[in-house]
Amino acid sequence: MLYWLLYPFHDQFVPFNVLRYITFRSAYAMVTALVISFLLGPWVMRKLRALQGRAKVREDTPVTHQMKVGTPSMGGLLILGSIMVPVLLWGDLGNRYVLLVLFTTLGMGLIGFLDDYLKLVRKRGLMARTKFACQLLVGLVVGAALYFQPLQPEVAGLTSLPFLKNVNPNLGVFYVVFVAFVIAGASNAVNLADGLDGLAIGLCALAFLAFAALAYVSGHRTFADYLNILYLRGSGEITVFCMAAVGAALGFLWYNTHPAEMFMGDTGSLALGGALGAVAVLVKKEFLLIVIGGVLVAEALSVMIQVSSYRWRRKRVFRMAPLHHHFELLGWPETKIVVRFWIIAALLVMLSLSTIKLQ
């Protein structure tokens, strides 16, 4: 909005010229998100307590989690507001990349909000198959928009493979379905990782920081050519969204760090995961998301392995799934698990970014 309103007058008022720089607007999007989180956080928590939007803890979780009963949930509303307002202020709202990632974030956030709300008023959320179908629908809309109305026809249907130079498989019309599963899968992975104070939100902050760098170089022809990656005209604008997400994540972490004063709920986890998947799709780094979000992938795989093993062998591989609960039952303190998972995630981010230069 500020870009639209003020930049046209840069000839009359030279300082407005800084709005042309994505780096400037990205930095201020992050700062704005942090400020919004700090200012609105206490008010949101009071409102959630008044609405009795309190977290329900599974009876089979480690006993240390029982003390978390009563903590306000649905804090994802704060995350959504802290992302949307900065993007609307500092982003180029005429950029289709920005519109698609905003659509995904709001769509997944709405699904999560409905699930949280039903848990609050009916004590039971959406059925798993219903939730997954809605997530796939959002992903299919994004995939169809990218394939049938591409921003760059020459890259429609393409993806890229880490470590391989100029290897960009064309998935054809199957790309639409591929996009849907990437977005839905990322959304569910963050949802499964949201089980310890600060864990999921910290992992998301690191992932969005990595994708901010990838979006910037993908949208800059000189950098893209130098790094042997696909040049995606206009994708640099996604950097503004990613940095707003980083700011929102850090701002929410202020309240979500152990002992958490507020949980994000499905409203936040589905929205952040969906946004992460959408960003990976938009910069054609869907497979690199597996490495950048390696901890999130491990959390999701642990659930799949546990369910499959018990169904077919009547035996459990882990003491409890998702993976972070397994380490809790091994006796690790919650904060130690969270910080160590963050460290692993940071290493994976550095590894992922290094693959770009290795191509």
- pTM of the predicted model, to two decimals? 0.93
Q: Structure tokens of 62?
A: 């480690």
Measured torsion, CA atoms of residues 110, 292, 303, 339, in degrees rounded to the nearest 10: -100
Which helix (H) or strand (E) segment is 300 a member of? Answer: helix 294-313
Q: Which range is most confident: 44-58, 70-84, 133-147, 222-236?
A: 133-147
Average pLDDT for 223-228: 90
CB-based contacts of 163-169 (< 8 A; 24+ apart in sequence)? 163/355, 163/358, 163/359, 164/359, 165/228, 165/359, 166/228, 166/359, 168/230, 168/284
Closest C-alpha to 240, from 279, 285, 274, 267: 279
- Could you tell me the CA-to-CA distances from 81 to 2, 100, 208, 248, 319 in Å, in that order? 17, 17, 17, 8, 37
Q: pLDDT band for 178, please (50, 70, 90 cuts).
A: very high
Share of the chain above pLDDT 70, in %: 90
Neighbours of 61 (CB within 10 A): 15
Q: What does the buried/exposed string (b/e) look like for 227-243 if buried means 16 or more CB atoms within 10 Å of the residue's CB?
A: bebbbbebbbbbbbbbb
CB 138, CB 115: distance < 8 Å: no
Q: Report whether pLDDT(58) > 60.
A: no
Collapse the DSSP code of 72 into the 3-class scheme (helix H, G, I; strand E, B; otherwise coil) and give the result.
strand
Predicted pLDDT of residue 53: 52
Collapse the DSSP code of 174 into the 3-class scheme (helix H, G, I; strand E, B; otherwise coil) and give the result.
helix
Collapse the DSSP code of 78 into the 3-class scheme (helix H, G, I; strand E, B; otherwise coil) and give the result.
helix
The residue type found at 157 is: G
Q: Report whether pLDDT(63) > 60.
A: no
- Give 229-259 pLDDT, tens digit per residue: 999 999 999 999 999 999 999 999 999 999 8
Average pLDDT for 74-82: 95
Residues whose CB falls within 8 Å of the CB of residue 20, separated by 6 or more in sequence, listed in order: 7, 10
Predicted pLDDT of residue 216: 96
DSSP secondary structure of 335-348: HHHHHHHHHHHHHH
Q: Report whether pLDDT(154) > 80.
A: yes
Predicted pLDDT of residue 242: 98
What's the 3-state SS for 213-254? HHHHHHCCHHHHHHHCCCCCCCHHHHHHHHHHHHHHHHHHHH
Q: What does the buried/exposed string (b/e) look like for 113-143 if buried means 16 or more CB atoms within 10 Å of the residue's CB?
A: bbbbbebbeeeebbeeeebbebbbebbbbbb
The residue ranges of every structural domain in the chain are 22-358
CB 125, CB 266: distance < 8 Å: yes
CB 96, CB 249: distance < 8 Å: no
Distance separating alpha carbons of residues 342 and 194, to the nearest angstrom: 13
For CA atoms 147, 148, 151, 153, the dihedral sign is positive
pLDDT, greater one: 168 or 208: 208
Q: pLDDT band for 119, please (50, 70, 90 cuts).
A: confident
Average pLDDT for the chain: 90
